[in-house]
């Protein structure tokens, strides 16, 4: 079977067992502070496991794009070095939400592997949870007794908490698990060493392929395990490893999941992949692996950047670029050309990569160009450092600078050092690295206490599309401390407050009762829970409250959100349908819209787009809102969906005439309420992404009024009706006056020359002129150079006061300089002491400024003594 058939067989098998097949959730996670990227198939069902939400299906199966490069499950450093770890991988999963449990999960797993995929039973081992006394958890005897029916008892192994108790993160749903391992070594090797001893021992050919988790608990922030109300099944099978087993390969990279990409890299580099542990081969694997993670993350909306998830993506891509650069001699961008290979291979299962192929390619190309330049300047820095080195050891701090500022992994620095027969002070590097980790941890530290339950209940119902006020009760609250500041998070039984999402900011407002009023500073979403941020707790959290949304604030937000939809529509109409939303911020003050487009939007286009938007506003088209529409129907209506957005089965559609979008935000009732839209800026934000900022409603009105008042003030000042003509006139006058002044100064300087020479004294056989002139610096220089050209045996010292500051200049004619008699530099150093200043220049001309003009006279007479 090829990879596509293997995947399809899995999905068909579980569909046949009553499972609903769902698409993969985006690889980038939104609305979950505990997770940046999807790290397991179960992430998208977290709220179903925890009971925050009623599951839409009792049995589900899919193939999920996962990324394990941050947080609890982090494989990055191993990727490429071995043959079976990946950054992005596909996890085949089947789930039961409060439906079947251990019995069916184990039976079906066995049936699929041995009867459908026909894996040899004698090559398999299973592990069950062996219990943990610290957690007070017993071993999983139920799983063991089910397994005994299928597999010899000596192939059932006990596993520790580390291997056989699965947790998604520090908190969240968890439970004991049973893993299935396959031994793909040769018969000869199997006869020599018992496979049992290699299970869970990092052996590349005795590997775990499937994990079946029995979700029973919720891990609290306090560390305590709480029983879940219902029991669930969460399974995850490593698709790439399954392909390796079924295609009888010894490495994931030898399956058709990766071979095409590797072949393409061979072709581009002219180097062959020889399947060893050599750096060159590692480079092939690193690149073949990383291109998938980076492509899908970008397609799901996460651009490489300098912070958070964007930084993780940038680091993965840089790791690939660097391996290509160091070991395959690829010093020009090439990784971007692999996107086409991925799109070709995975496009049927994951259409997002085909639809965004151009965009993803361009983003990667730009990153490659940028990083290759950084690599080059980092290497230069390294060369300089190495050349200036006293001993044979590269300073750890310098290695850290390369790592931190130039993105050089330590092994690259080490490699470069060894090429020069130098070594790196690793201890010093590690200290610097550890210090930085502490710094960044301090900067981001958040502690979240466990929820205090005020009353039991289902999760929050959002009623804010129809209500701005409501009688509410608090269900639970908790204390959060972020960077030393504390606040409370509150969950209500129902709420009119909109929680930040889809670019629209959260509502502000109050919770009020006869005891007083508490300000809600923001509203956010955590998974599907709506969380209100308040600074202090009410005295009696169990009391009844009126929740009141700040109406003016909400109205302004709604206006900006609807304006965003009209702008999106007008942009696609004017520029083309390659325009896709790539980011959006909607708050009460303005709107910001990022979209894919590869060139600047011209002034004319912008004007036309703004006009079009305002035309749509004036049409006063009514809002048509479709709540809880099946997603298929919404797509049929032509509703625009965003890549990387996780949509449920039922979606909300917002329609204003021809503008139809899937959207959860709040909107005006008809476009006329927007009043007016003004675009205030257009620019680039990243490769292939433009940003427009605009105002609407009262914001646009205020903006126009401000502009008008500036104009009125100018008219008043200039006493003119035609401002442009008046300003032009002023500019002309000012230019003319400037030129006249310049000419006058020249003339003055020339006549000054003669005046000055009248004051010449002979001191110590040298002609000396020392005078105060109060001219600008340029004129002084002109005079000095003119006299220098005309005279010999002359020392000229001029002093001036300009804008309260003293200026001194010394000119010494060339004959005196060459005779070694005088040096303007030396003279000015002495003289400038008198004006409390300093300066310098050349032996024949030097100047100094000072803050004490009173000292000028002293300086001018001092020169006589010096000479
Ligand atoms: N969540 C479990 C894992 O990631 C099973 O899917 O291994």
Confidence of residue 458 (pLDDT cuts 50, 70, 90): low
Whole-Å CA distances, 157 to 125, 181, 331, 532, 580: 7, 11, 49, 47, 52
Nearest CA to ligand 1 atom 1: 40
CA–CA dist 636, 36 (Å, integer): 32
Which residue is associated with the tokens 């914001």? 699
Residue 553 burial by CB count (10 A; 0-12/13-18/19+): exposed, middle or buried?
A: middle
**Cα–Cα distance measured from residue 866 to residue 861, given in angstroms and rounded to the nearest whole number:** 9
Q: How confident is the model over 561-597, as pLDDT tens digits?
A: 999 999 999 999 999 999 999 999 999 999 999 999 9
The pTM is what? 0.71
Tell me the torsion sign for CA atoms 420, 426, 427, 429: positive
Regarding predicted confidence, which is higher, 604 or 34? Answer: 604
How far does the centroid of ligand 1 lie from the alpha carbon of residue 42, in Å? 7
- The residue nearest atom 3 of ligand 1, judged by CA position, is 236
Q: Is residue 70 scored above 70 in pLDDT?
A: no
Query: What's the pLDDT score for residue 444?
Result: 67
Is the per-residue pLDDT at 31 higher than 80? no
The average pLDDT across 111-140 equals 96
Is the separation of the CB atoms in 114 and 123 below 8 Å? no
Residues 309-328 pLDDT 10s? 888 899 899 989 989 998 99
CB 216 within 8 A of CB 198: no
The ligand 1 atom nearest the CA atom of 213? 5
Greatest Cα pair distance in the chain: 121
**Model pLDDT, residue 72:** 56
Q: Which atom of ligand 1 is nearest to the CA of 73?
A: 4
Ligand 1 test: best mutation among 24, 37, 42, 207, most atoms within 8 Å of CB?
42
Q: Give the helix/strand (H/E) hosting 439.
A: helix 426-444
Mean pLDDT check: name the lowest of 35-49, 82-96, 258-272.
35-49
Question: Residue 742: which pLDDT band, with cuts at 50, 70 and 90?
Answer: confident
pLDDT at res. 801: 93
Q: Where are the alpha helices (DSSP H) in 90-198?
A: 102-110, 141-148, 161-164, 187-192
Residue 190 confidence class, pLDDT cut points 50, 70, 90: very high
Q: Is 211 in the pocket of ligand 1 (CB under 6 A)?
A: yes
**Which ranges of 640-758 would DSSP assign to H, the alpha helix?**
697-718, 723-757
Residue 50 has pLDDT above 70, yes or no: yes
Distance 501 CA to ligand 1 centre (A): 28
Q: Is the CB of 213 inside a 6 Å radius of any atom of ligand 1?
A: yes
Cα(46) to ligand 1 centroid in Å equals 12
pLDDT confidence tier of residue 30, bands split at 50, 70 and 90: confident
Question: Which range among 156-160, 354-358, 386-390, 539-543 shows the weakest confidence by mean pLDDT?
Answer: 386-390
CA angle (682, 615, 676) in 5-degree steps: 65
Ligand 1 proximity of 234 Cβ (cutoff 6 Å): yes
| Contact assessment for residue 228 and residue 52, using Cβ atoms and an 8 Å cutoff | no
Pairing state of beta strands 581-586 and 677-686?
unpaired
Of the candidates 199, 204, 216, the one whose C-alpha atom is nearest the C-alpha of residue 165 is 216
Q: Is it the case that residue 73 has pLDDT exceeding 70?
A: no
Q: Are strands 659-662 and 650-656 parallel, antiparallel or unpaired?
A: antiparallel
Q: Averaged over 720-728, what is the pLDDT?
A: 90
d(CA 808, CA 831): 8
Nearest CA to ligand 1 atom 6: 236
**Interacting residues of 644 by C-beta distance below 8 A, sequence separation 6+:** 26, 28, 299, 300, 301, 302, 352
Ligand 1 pocket check for 459: Cβ under 6 Å: no
Distance CA 693, CA 586 (A): 10
pLDDT score at 75: 67
For residue 204, the CA-to-ligand 1 centroid distance in Å is: 20
- Number of Cβ within a 10 Å radius of residue 834: 23
CA of 231 to the centre of ligand 1 (A): 15
Contact 38, 66 (CB under 8 A): yes
Do residues 496 and 467 touch, judged by C-beta distance below 8 A? Answer: yes
**pLDDT attached to residue 68:** 87
Query: Is the model's pLDDT at 71 over the cut of 70?
Result: no
- pLDDT of 74 reads 65
**Side-chain-side CA neighbours of residue 117 (13 Å):** 31
Mean pLDDT of the chain: 92
């Amino acid at each position: 079977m090829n990879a596509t058939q293997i995947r399809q067989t899995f999905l068909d098998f579980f569909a046949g067992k009553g499972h609903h097949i769902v698409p993969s959730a985006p690889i980038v996670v939104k609305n979950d502070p505990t997770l940046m990227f999807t790290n397991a198939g179960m992430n998208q069902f977290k709220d179903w496991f925890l009971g925050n939400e009623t599951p839409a299906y009792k049995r589900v199966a899919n193939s999920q794009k996962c990324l394990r490069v941050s947080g609890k499950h982090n494989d990055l450093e191993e990727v490429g070095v071995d043959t079976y770890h990946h950054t992005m991988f596909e996890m085949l999963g089947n789930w039961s939400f409060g439906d079947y449990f251990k019995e069916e999960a184990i039976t079906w797993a066995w049936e699929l592997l041995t009867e459908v995929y026909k894996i040899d039973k004698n090559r398999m081992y299973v592990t069950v949870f062996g219990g943990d006394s610290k957690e007070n958890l017993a071993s999983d005897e139920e799983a063991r007794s089910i397994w005994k029916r299928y597999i010899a008892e000596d192939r059932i192994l006990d596993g520790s908490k580390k291997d056989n108790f699965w947790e998604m993160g520090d908190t969240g749903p968890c439970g004991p698990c049973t893993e299935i391992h396959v031994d793909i070594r040769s018969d000869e090797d199997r006869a020599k060493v018992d496979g049992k001893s290699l299970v869970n021992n990092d052996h590349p050919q005795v590997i775990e392929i499937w994990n079946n988790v029995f979700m029973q608990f919720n891990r609290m922030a306090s560390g305590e395990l709480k029983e879940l109300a219902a029991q669930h099944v969460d399974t995850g099978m490593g698709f790439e490893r399954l392909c390796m087993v079924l295609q009888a390969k010894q490495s994931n990279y030898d399956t058709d999941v990766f071979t095409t990409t590797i072949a393409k890299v061979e072709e581009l580099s002219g180097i062959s992949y020889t399947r060893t542990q050599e750096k060159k081969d590692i480079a092939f694997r690193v690149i073949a692996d990383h291109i998938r993670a980076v492509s899908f993350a970008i397609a799901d909306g996460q651009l490489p950047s300098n912070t958070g998830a964007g930084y993780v993506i940038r680091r993965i891509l840089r790791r690939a670029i660097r391996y290509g650069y160091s070991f395959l001699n690829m010093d020009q961008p090439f990784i971007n050309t692999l996107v086409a290979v991925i799109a070709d291979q995975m496009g049927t299962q994951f259409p997002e990569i085909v639809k965004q192929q151009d965009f993803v390619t361009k983003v990667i190309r730009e990153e490659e160009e940028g990083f290759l330049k950084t690599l080059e300047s980092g290497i230069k820095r390294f060369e300089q450092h190495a050349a200036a080195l006293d001993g044979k050891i590269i300073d750890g701090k310098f290695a850290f600078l390369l790592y931190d500022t130039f993105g050089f992994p330590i092994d690259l620095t080490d490699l470069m050092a060894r090429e020069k027969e130098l070594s790196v002070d690793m201890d010093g590097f590690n200290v610097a690295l550890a210090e930085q980790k502490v710094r960044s941890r301090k900067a981001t530290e958040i502690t979240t206490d466990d929820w205090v339950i005020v009353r039991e209940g289902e999760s929050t119902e959002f009623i804010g599309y129809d209500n701005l006020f409501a009688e509410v009760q608090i269900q639970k609250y908790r204390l959060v401390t972020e960077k030393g500041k504390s606040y409370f998070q509150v969950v209500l039984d129902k709420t009119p407050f909109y929680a930040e999402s889809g670019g629209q900011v959260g509502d502000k407002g109050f919770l009020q009762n006869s005891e007083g009023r508490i300000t809600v500073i923001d509203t956010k979403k955590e998974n599907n829970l709506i969380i209100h941020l308040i600074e202090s707790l009410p005295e009696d959290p169990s009391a009844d409250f009126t929740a009141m949304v700040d109406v003016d604030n909400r109205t302004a937000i709604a206006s900006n959100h609807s304006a965003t939809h009209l702008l999106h529509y007008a942009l696609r109409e004017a520029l083309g349908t390659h325009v896709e939303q790539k980011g959006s911020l909607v708050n009460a003050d303005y709107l910001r819209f990022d979209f894919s487009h590869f060139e600047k939007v011209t002034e004319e286009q912008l004007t036309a787009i703004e006009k079009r938007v305002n035309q749509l506003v004036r049409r006063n088209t009514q809002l048509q809102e479709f709540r809880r529409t099946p997603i298929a129907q919404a797509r049929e209506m032509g509703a625009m969906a965003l890549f990387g957005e996780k949509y449920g089965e039922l979606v909300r559609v917002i329609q204003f005439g021809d503008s139809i979008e899937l959207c959860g935000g709040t909107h005006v009732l008809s476009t006329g309420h927007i009043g007016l839209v003004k675009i205030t800026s257009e620019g680039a934000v990243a490769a292939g992404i433009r940003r427009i900022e605009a105002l609407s409603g009262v914001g646009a009105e205020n903006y126009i009024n401000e502009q008008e008042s500036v104009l009125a003030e100018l008219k008043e000042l200039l006493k003119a009706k035609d401002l442009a003509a008046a300003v032009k006139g002023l500019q002309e006058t000012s230019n003319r006056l400037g030129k006249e002044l310049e000419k006058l100064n020249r003339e003055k300087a020339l006549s000054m020359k003669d005046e000055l020479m009248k004051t010449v004294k002979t001191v110590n056989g040298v002609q000396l002129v020392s005078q105060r002139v109060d001219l600008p610096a340029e004129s002084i220089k002109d005079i000095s150079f003119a006299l220098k050209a005309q005279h010999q045996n002359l020392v000229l010292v001029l002093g001036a006061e300009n804008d309260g500051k003293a200026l001194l200049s010394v000119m010494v004619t060339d004959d005196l300089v060459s005779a070694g008699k005088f040096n303007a530099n030396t003279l000015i150093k002495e003289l400038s002491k008198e004006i409390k200043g300093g300066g310098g220049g050349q032996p024949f001309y030097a100047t100094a400024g000072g803050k004490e003009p009173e000292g000028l006279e002293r300086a001018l007479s001092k020169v006589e003594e010096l000479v």
